[in-house]
Amino acid sequence: MTASIPPARPVIGPDEIAAAVRVLGSGLVVQGPEVAAFEEEFAAVVAGRHCVAVNSGTSALYLTLLALGLGPGDEVIVPSFSFAATANAVRLAGATPVFADIEPGSFCLDPAAAAAAITSRTVAIMPVHLYGHPAAMDRIMPLAARHGLAVVEDAAQAHAAALHGVPAGAFGVAGCFSFYPTKNMHSLEGGMITTADPELARRLRLLRNQGMEQRYQNEVVGANLRLTDVAAAIGRVQLGRLAGWTERRRANAAFLDEHLAGVLTPPVAAGARHVYHQYTVRVPGSRDAFRAALTERGVGNAVYYPTPIHRLRPYANGTTHLPETDLAAAEVVSLPVFPTLTGAELERIAEAVNSAAVPA
């Protein structure tokens, strides 16, 4: 039998290994010239914004909220249909996540639901560009401006996504990216904060490094959330491939859009450039059987996310009512869409979906 197709296939190839070995051999492995170069080069992805590298996407979100001065009593509006890191960052900063529902078409934060969740304590909105589809920033930014709220983009899944030509990570006061191995590009572990505000960038640089710009001249209380030069060197190799990989993801998605039957393929909002971190279909009613049939046919698949954050133990209060979030969590299945899929693998995925999706 042919090998199963995994849900994701992170690349750690000869170039990544050579870059890591080169940095290891240099003896300069902690944050240094590779991190600085990675930050400079990543700016091209976010319309030239300042970029501050950190050791994970979660650190990026957390550090941004700290740098913005958020803390106890402050509320941040977040979608519940996301990875727990989105809400964890808010809690770790001492603030309170307030969950709002999603738009069923994009799986992203519903601006009307966000508006309805605003209280006198709200200080920020944190939309998530889920699966690589940009959130409705054209409606979220004006909403935030009307209420004087900061917007922090969780762009962990959205490298090179865009809405009406503006890249993800270039809308809010800050954008936060992840370089976890399964993301659209990786640095083993890693993250990047993007901002147009040089003062915020400086605060972020202080906070990630014990509050120091000059060694032993600590200006504020900070942590150690630095990226290593080894990770940055790998990230730079991956960044060089991001444009090509993104086109492959989009082409793979276009193939699946055209060839899948019996499931609801992912819609794309007008003006949105979807980068398909995940290719996520809806299978109303029969998801478990559908998934089992795919697995049997050697087609990897996954559910992101089976439990909305507002139903996870640290966040459940029993009163939050998010019907579109609950429905999505019950229906979604993500199929392989990663850039190194072969034509034969894409055809296998389509055949497996089309036979698995036939109603019993």
Ligand X SMILES: *Cc1c(COP(=O)(O)O)cnc(C)c1O
What is the SS3 string spanning 71-104?
A: CCCCEEEEECCCCCHHHHHHHHCCCEEEEECECC
If the CB atoms of residues 86 and 228 are measured against ligand X, the closer one turns out to be 86
Maximum distance among all Cα pairs of the chain, rounded to whole angstroms: 69
Cβ nearer to ligand X, comparing 132 with 339? 132
Given 31, 64, 80, 82, the residue binding ligand X (CB under 6 A)? 82
Residue 185 binds ligand X (CB under 6 A): no
Q: Which of residues 43-72 bind ligand X (CB under 6 A)?
A: 56-58
Q: Does 246 bind ligand X (CB under 6 A)?
A: no
b/e burial code for range 246-264 (CB count within 10 A of at least 16 → b): bebbbebbebbeeebeebe
* Token digits of residue 242: 């991001």
Binding mask 188-227 vs ligand X (x if CB under 6 A, - otherwise)? Answer: ---x------------------------------------
E-strand spans in the chain? 50-54, 75-79, 96-100, 122-125, 150-154, 162-163, 166-167, 174-178, 191-195, 272-273, 279-282, 332-335
Q: Which stretch binds ligand X (CB under 6 A): 71-79, 93-101, 151-159, 227-235?
A: 151-159
Give the residue, chosen from 51, 114, 137, 156, that forms a contact with ligand X under the rule CB under 6 A.
Answer: 156
Q: Per CB under 6 A, does 245 bind ligand X? A: no
Identify which of residues 178 and 252 has a Cβ nearer to ligand X in the complex: 178
Exposure of 240 in the CB half-sphere (CA atoms within 13 A): 10
- The amino acid that residue 165 corresponds to is G
Binding mask 111-140 for ligand X (x = CB under 6 A): -----------------x------------
Minimum separation from the CB atom of position 70 to ligand X (A):
17
CA 5 – CA 23 distance, rounded (Å) = 33
Pairing of strands 122-125, 75-79: parallel
Which residue lies nearer to ligand X by CB, 46 or 356?
46
Where do contacts with ligand X occur on this chain (CB under 6 A)? Answer: 56-58, 82-83, 85-86, 128, 154, 156-157, 178, 180, 191
